[in-house]
Amino acid sequence: MSKHSPADQAPIPTGPVSPARWAASYEEEPTQASAPPQANGMTALKPFGWAKDNLFNTPLNAALTLACLFLLWLVVPPMANWLLLKASWSGSSEACREAAGACWSVIVVKHRLIFFGTYPYDEQWRPFLACALFVAMLGASGVRAFWRPWLAVAWVLTLVGMGVLMWGGVAGLTYVPNDRWGGLPITLMLSVFSIALAFPLSILLALGRQSSLPAIRTFCVGFIETMRGVPLVSVLFMASVMFPLFLPEGVTVDKLLRALAGMTLFTAAYLAEAVRGGLQAIPKGQYEAADALGLSYWQKTMLIVLPQALRIVIPPIVNQFISAFKDTSLVTIVGLYDLLTAATVATTDPEWRPYFAEVYVFAGLMFWIFCFSMSRYSQWLERLANRYTRR
């Protein structure tokens, strides 16, 4: 005789049944033996219980944990003393010599030179306001609730306002040529504009590399492989020195524009390979389904293939964005003062030259803030894309 009555037994599914559906159709009642003990659950929540289960569960892990703790004990207290506890936060260079820690006074004295380069001192409120507007628009563009048509209008107004603030010459503002620009504005503008221009170009290059037309495919392959085969320093050098030689006599191109063009082409080549990887990851059935619906090439690409490909390659794309942001430090070869170059210039003052380490730590912190923000945003974007994909 069966242990369960017919009313207690699960109904037998009809038709083709997957193992997951069969398992879901009959669930045994939890018994006392299968239920996890409450004591073990409470122990797992305690810090000591977690450490015992994860850090000291084997002799090897215990030895590695103790070694790491010993290294932290050797490194963290001296670093904390140098960075914070025994540091000099204000005063002259004489006060820094008496302090046993870092001299952050050099940042207080030289912060304008680091952030704004050789921009006229009395007019430095203008690049400060321009950077504030630019960063605010970047933050607003990352919020999904603001993805509306008015955001494009806001960007146009912001770029016009930045141009008025940086160049001047109107509304009573003193004209400042862009060879006087430097510091954070140069880093932000070169990185953001090169990424914004390189991204659509990279999509066209990736699509062209997979084109069935030999001329287009050959051109795209040649461009991508050429750009990926040389360092960015060579590209910037060619844009700064060699490119003007091919222009007609009397025609010149601003060096900031030449650096922007070189960074854009270089970044587009690397982004194109990331996008091509996403295109190749799309199942062939997606292409066949789009063809069966009678969609044209561009409809199939823009509505079906490209959205899925870009979702797949969000991590490598953002990784290239971060690399492009850090590569702005190489524009010093064309005579532009980015954030790192301006920080280097700040260390040439003989009075503050001994404290160059603090200046480079501060510049590195600025780069880390922007790069870490891009990394965190990419993770949020991945979660958002995956959530809508599951729907």
CATH classification for the domain delimited by 107-390, as one of 3.40.50.2300, 3.40.50.410, 3.40.50.720, 1.10.3720.10: 1.10.3720.10
State the pLDDT at residue 188: 92
How many Å apart are CA 127 and CA 116, to the nearest integer?
Answer: 7
State the pLDDT at residue 85: 86
State the pLDDT at residue 381: 85
Report DSSP letters for 135-176, one per residue.
Answer: HHHHHHHT-GGG-SHHHHHHHHHHHHHHHHHHH--STTPPP-
State the pLDDT at residue 93: 79
Tokens at 210, concatenated? 């997979």
Tokens at 351, concatenated? 């009075």
State the pLDDT at residue 258: 87
State the pLDDT at residue 390: 60
How many Å apart are CA 221 and CA 214, to the nearest integer?
Answer: 10
State the pLDDT at residue 88: 85
State the pLDDT at residue 196: 92
**Which amino acid appears at position 56 of this protein?**
F
3-state SS assignment for residue 183: strand
Report DSSP letters for 287-315, one per residue.
Answer: HHHHHHTT--HHHHIIIIIHHHHHHHTHH
- Interstrand relation of 337-338 and 182-183 (parallel, antiparallel or unpaired): parallel
Q: Please give the C-alpha separations between residue 117 and each of 160, 182, 343, 370, 379, in angstroms, as whole numbers.
A: 22, 4, 8, 19, 33
State the pLDDT at residue 198: 93
Tokens at 5, concatenated? 């009555």
State the pLDDT at residue 359: 92
How many Å apart are CA 367 and CA 325, to the nearest integer?
Answer: 8
State the pLDDT at residue 75: 93
Residues of the chain with confidence (pLDDT) below 50: 1-10, 12-44
Fill in the DSSP letter of residue 241. I
State the pLDDT at residue 360: 93
Indicate the domain borders of the chain: 107-390
State the pLDDT at residue 337: 87
Residues, the chain: 391
How many Å apart are CA 221 and CA 233, to the nearest integer?
Answer: 21
Non-local (6+) Cβ contacts of 236 within 8 A are 259, 262, 263, 330, 331, 333, 334
